[in-house]
Structure 1
Amino acid sequence: MSQQHPHRGTLFLEDAEILSHQEFDGRQYVLKLHAPKCAQAATPGSFIHLSCDPSLPMRRPLSIMRAHAGRGTIEILYKVVGAGLTLLSHRKVGEQLSCLGPIGQGFRPHPQRPHTLLVGGGVGIPPMIFLAEALLDRTDAEWQPLVLMGSEIPFPFRTRPSTILVPGMPDGTIACMPLLEEWGIPSRLASLAGYAGCHDGYVSDLAAHWLSTLDQDTLARTELFACGPTPMLEAITTVARRFEIPCQVSLEEFMACGVGGCAGCAVRVETPDGPAMKRICVDGPVFDAMTVFAPS
C-alpha cells in the first residue's frame, strides 16, 4: 500500500443485502446490511457510499454506526433529507444495495489520553456509537468513554433514565441511550425540545459544563471526539480550546464521487506547511479540530 494512496486495498464494492430497516420518529431509519467485506475493514469514523435506488445514479455518503466483522454486518443511521434518502427509506428487507466502502480516515484515540469524551449531534451520532463500542474493548484504560448526544427532533431510540452515575452532570440530566447503558458506557442527552431527562441546551454546553468539573490532572488525560453539523463542531472546538484538550472532528459534507476523484468535498486545513485544501472523503472525514476551525 503506497503512502500516496493509503486507501488502496481497503475499499470494496459489494452488493449488500438489507437485513432489517427500522423506522423511528423524525423520519429516521436504522439500516442493517450484510456487507462482509466492508464490515471486516470498517473503523470508527469511516463511511459507505450507498446506491439508494436503481433509478438514482448518484450514491449517498452515510456514516457507519456499527460493524460486526464476524457476522459480516454493518448498521447505518440516517435521516430522510432529499430525494435520494426518500428512495432509500422505501427499500425492503431482502433487497440489495450497491455498497462502496469503507471510505475515509477514522478516529485515532491516543493511549496517553484514556479519558475520552464523545459528542454526537443529530446524524453525527452514529460514528460516536461505533467509536464507543471500539473503546469498550480497550485494555489500556479503566475509564469508559462518556458519550453526549444532542438532537432537536426525537432521538432514534427510546430514551430512559440512566443507572450509571456521572459526576459533574447538571441536576436532572439523566436520560441515556439504552444500548450504551447495556454496554456499561455512560451517556447523557441534550435538547432544546424539552424532552424528559435531557439537558435543556446545546450538547456543546453540556460538554463544557462537565469538563469544567474536572481537575487539571484529569483534563491532561482527556481527549474529545465529535461529529455533527458544522455549527456544533465549531462550538465543540471552542470548548476544547478553552480546556486545552485535543479534539478530533468528523466533518459532514455533500459528496459526488466519494473516493477523492472529484475534489468536490474539499475543506481548508492548516498544516505545518501552511493552508491546504483536503478532501473530506479520503483525507478525512476525521481531522484535528484545531486545524479546521480557527479561533474566533
Structure 2
Amino acid sequence: MTSHKPHRDTIFLEEAEILSHEAYAGEQYILRVQAPLCAERALPGSFVHIQCDRSKPLRRPISIMRASAKQGWVDFLYKAVGEGTRLLAQRKKGELLSMLGPIGVPFKLNPERSIPLLIGGGVGMPPMIFIAETLAGNPAYKPMVILGSEVPFPFKPQPSSILVPEMPEGVIASMPLLDDWHIPSRLASLQGFPGCHEGYVTDLARHWLSELSMEARTQVEIFSCGPHPMLEGVAKLAAEFDLPCQVSLEEFMACGVGGCAGCVVEVETATGPAMKRVCVDGPVFDSRTVFPS
C-alpha cells in the first residue's frame, strides 16, 4: 500500500485571472491574480508554478508575496530574467494564467523566539514581506526586516517613522508598506540609494545583532530568502551568533511537485547526507543542514 504524501491534496490547479500587473525599474513586476484556492492555503515560504505563456508548457516557480484568503487574491514579485518570465511580463489584466499552488514547506515561527529577523534579497524579498504581514498586529512578536537590492527597489523607499536605535546613523530608508504595518525595516544596497546601508544585507544584520542586548539576542531567529551566495552569508551570520535560521532556496524546477527530482540539493540529516527536493521537501530548510559550517 502506498503511504500518504503530506503534499497530496494540498496543491491546486487554477485558471487565475490577472487583476493587476505593474512594472518597476530593473525589469521587476508585481502581479496580482484571483486564485481563491491558492489564497486560502498560502503560507509564508510557499510558492506557485505558473505557466507564463501557452507557447511555453514548462512552468516557472514564483514565491508568494501576499495573499488574501478572504478576497481570494495572491501577489507575486518577480524579475524578467529569461524567456519564460519575459513572456509573463507581457500578460495583461483580465487574462488567465494556469497556476499550480501553493507548493512547498513554509517557514515556521517559533513562539519561544519573539524577535524574527527577516532578511530578503532581490526577488527573495516576497516571503519576508509575507511573514511580516502575518505578524502585523501580533504583540507576541517584534520582527525586524532587512531588504537588499542591486536594482531600484520595487517600491519607493521612504524615511522610516519607526526608530531603530541599533541601526547605523543615517540608515533610515524603509519599505512604506512595512511602516504602515508598524513593522521596522531597513534597506541595503551597493548602489548608493539614499538612506540605504552601503553594503550587504548581512553587514547590516550583523551591525543590528551586535547592538542588541544579550537578552534580546536570545530571542532572535533568522528567516531568509535570496540568491545562493546571500543565503550562505546569512547562514554564516547565524552560526556566528549561534542563532537558529531558516532559509528558502531558489532552484530551477521542471515539474515543481516532486516527480522529476530535478531540483534536488544535498542536505545534512541525522543519518548523514541526503538528496532532498527543493519543491516539496523545501523550499524552506534549516540553514545548518544546507550550509554546514
TM-score category (smaller protein): over 0.9
The question of whether the paired residues in 2 share the 8 Å contact of 1:105 and 1:286 is answered with yes
Q: 1:172 aligns with which of 170, 173, 176?
A: 170
The question of whether the paired residues in 2 share the 8 Å contact of 1:136 and 1:144 is answered with no
Corresponding residue for 2:98? 98
Q: Deviations over 1:185-234 (max 9, x none)?
A: 11000000000000000001100110001122211111000000000000
Q: Which amino acid aligns with 1:261?
A: G
1:294 positional shift: 1.7
Corresponding residue for 2:224? 226
Corresponding residue for 1:27? 27
Kindly report which structure 2 residues correspond to 1:1-296, keeping only aligned pairs within 5 A, or say none: 4-138=4-138, 141=140, 143-295=141-293
Residue 84 of structure 1 aligns to a residue whose secondary structure is: helix
Q: Which amino acid aligns with 1:43?
A: L
| Identical-residue share of aligned pairs (%) | 61
Unaligned runs of 5+ in 1: none
Residue 109 of structure 2 aligns to a residue whose secondary structure is: coil
Paired with 2:35 and 2:234, the residues of 1 have a C-alpha distance of: 33
Which portions of structure 1, spanning 4 or more consecutive aligned residues, are displaced by more than 2 angstroms? none
Paired with 1:108 and 1:4, the residues of 2 have a C-alpha distance of: 22
Residue 151 of structure 2 aligns to a residue whose secondary structure is: coil
1:144 positional shift: 2.6
Q: Deviations over 1:125-172 (max 9, x none)?
A: 000000111122535x1x431110000100000111001001210111
Residue 157 of structure 1 aligns to a residue whose secondary structure is: coil
The question of whether the paired residues in 1 share the 8 Å contact of 2:202 and 2:233 is answered with yes
Q: Which amino acid aligns with 2:65?
A: M
1:8 positional shift: 1.2
Residue 211 of structure 2 aligns to a residue whose secondary structure is: coil
Residue 206 of structure 1 aligns to a residue whose secondary structure is: helix
The question of whether the paired residues in 2 share the 8 Å contact of 1:150 and 1:190 is answered with yes
The question of whether the paired residues in 1 share the 8 Å contact of 2:137 and 2:181 is answered with no
Paired with 2:116 and 2:40, the residues of 1 have a C-alpha distance of: 25
Q: Which amino acid aligns with 2:202?
A: S
Instruction: Provide closer, same or farther for how the CA distance between residues 4 and 167 of structure 1 changes in structure 2, counting only shifts above 3 A.
Output: farther
Paired with 2:42 and 2:34, the residues of 1 have a C-alpha distance of: 13
Q: Which amino acid aligns with 1:112?
A: E
Count of aligned pairs = 292
1:4 positional shift: 4.7
Paired with 1:3 and 1:158, the residues of 2 have a C-alpha distance of: 49
Q: Which amino acid aligns with 1:80?
A: A
Paired with 1:52 and 1:23, the residues of 2 have a C-alpha distance of: 16
Q: Deviations over 1:65-103 (max 9, x none)?
A: 000000000000000001000000000000000010000
Paired with 1:61 and 1:137, the residues of 2 have a C-alpha distance of: 30
Paired with 1:84 and 1:269, the residues of 2 have a C-alpha distance of: 29
Paired with 1:9 and 1:138, the residues of 2 have a C-alpha distance of: 30
The question of whether the paired residues in 2 share the 8 Å contact of 1:28 and 1:80 is answered with yes
Residue 212 of structure 1 aligns to a residue whose secondary structure is: helix
Paired with 2:262 and 2:251, the residues of 1 have a C-alpha distance of: 9
1:3 positional shift: 7.1
The question of whether the paired residues in 2 share the 8 Å contact of 1:175 and 1:198 is answered with yes
RMSD over equivalenced CA pairs, Å:
1.1
Instruction: Provide closer, same or farther for how the CA distance between residues 200 and 3 of structure 1 changes in structure 2, counting only shifts above 3 A.
Output: farther
